[in-house]
A = this chain, B = another copy of it.
């Protein structure tokens, strides 16, 4: 793999090659501090979600501010962070491919490794692999608290799975995974809160049923950047799994608070930096950030700090920027706020961290593309 860094330490912001991911280090650090402060005030634990950043460096920034470990969504993503020095890793997802279960169990010989399960046969497979490695895997039962994806129904169906884990020699029942992924991006405050109120009730019921059987949940995990304050003050969730708060994105910033204003807990710290590469038309410009530099699943990028121009279309390697005042110049650089940070980060190999107009850190996206 070629090392194709867009900049080196000391490069001035105007000389960075594009398209690339830019981190405003001041804003990023304020975001880290704000979440750490909230978690601390509430007496919770934060297991920061590394699916957003896929970076060992950023994981260490989170651990340094008190995070107890990280979440990953994939075994290969967790492996990349393990190699980057992280030693407490929850794969907040099911792992069913036999080869990947093997890799998961192998990791547990070197670090604390947790995983989710929603199927009895899968628990047998996890136990068999852990036994082969003489390791212990900690397992959370995933319950579907409204997202409609993975997880068994809350309440009674979770009990036999937890008992099965508890009875397995090389597994440890660690609690519940209860992430409401469908609530995170709901723009309306009350609708969003209503979804988490329902999730909280489902979690309470499940915890009670498990307690009736003598099963204690060390971890009751979930929450994301859109809803963390709800789970965090629920009195039942004890581990938050927020990811996007470090960067934010255009879609997250469309969600509203109680008073109707848009959410302002966290700042934009991640930008897709781009250059005007063609300016042959008065009313628009072509920039170098298209579909191969961002995911447009949640809408296109938004130009940061400019009301006079708009990113209106993406093709593979081009972005079209409407420029009604013919203000843009060939070679001019712009900061775009990605529509959706996670899958945009997953395309790039490097972050360029900037402070006071100068590159201070160049961070590899350690687990980029690690989808197995």
Beta-carbon contacts under 8 Å, A115-155 to B: 118-119, 121-122, 144, 148-153
Let me know if A302 is at the binding interface, CB within 8 A. no
Partner of A150, one of B20, B121, B275, B277: B277
How many of these chains are in the complex?
A: 2
List 4 A-B pairs, minimum CB-CB distance, nearest first.
A150-B278, A291-B343, A1-B1, A73-B317
Check A275 against B2 for contact (C-beta < 8 Å): no
In the assembled complex, the Cα of A95 lies from the Cα of B76 at a distance in Å of: 36
Query: In the assembled complex, how far is the CB of residue A271 from the closest CB belonging to chain B, in whole angstroms?
Result: 15
What residue of chain B has the Cβ atom nearest to residue A298's Cβ?
B291
A-B contact pairs, 12 of them (CB 8 A): A4-B370, A96-B276, A96-B331, A122-B330, A148-B284, A150-B278, A151-B278, A151-B280, A153-B280, A181-B315, A291-B343, A296-B297
Interface SS majority for chain A: loop
Check B96 against A275 for contact (C-beta < 8 Å): yes
Partner of A297, one of B96, B277, B291: B291
Let me know if A348 is at the binding interface, CB within 8 A. yes
Check A15 against B99 for contact (C-beta < 8 Å): yes
Let me know if A66 is at the binding interface, CB within 8 A. no
Contacts of A96 in B (CB 8 A): 275-277, 330-331
Number of interface residues of A (CB under 8 A): 72
Contact (A119, B278) CB under 8 Å given A97-B18, A318-B150: yes
Contacts of A150 in B (CB 8 A): 277-278, 280, 286, 318
Let me know if A62 is at the binding interface, CB within 8 A. no
Contacts of A316 in B (CB 8 A): 51, 73, 342-343
Let me know if A94 is at the binding interface, CB within 8 A. yes
Let me know if A186 is at the binding interface, CB within 8 A. no
Contacts of A93 in B (CB 8 A): 277, 317
Check A278 against B94 for contact (C-beta < 8 Å): yes
In the assembled complex, the Cα of A15 lies from the Cα of B99 at a distance in Å of: 8
Contacts of A288 in B (CB 8 A): 371
Query: In the assembled complex, how far is the CB of residue A55 from the closest CB belonging to chain B, in whole angstroms?
Result: 13
Let me know if A279 is at the binding interface, CB within 8 A. yes
Task: Give 1 or 0 for each of A309-338: 1 = CB within 8 Å of chain B CB.
Answer: 000001111101000000000110000000
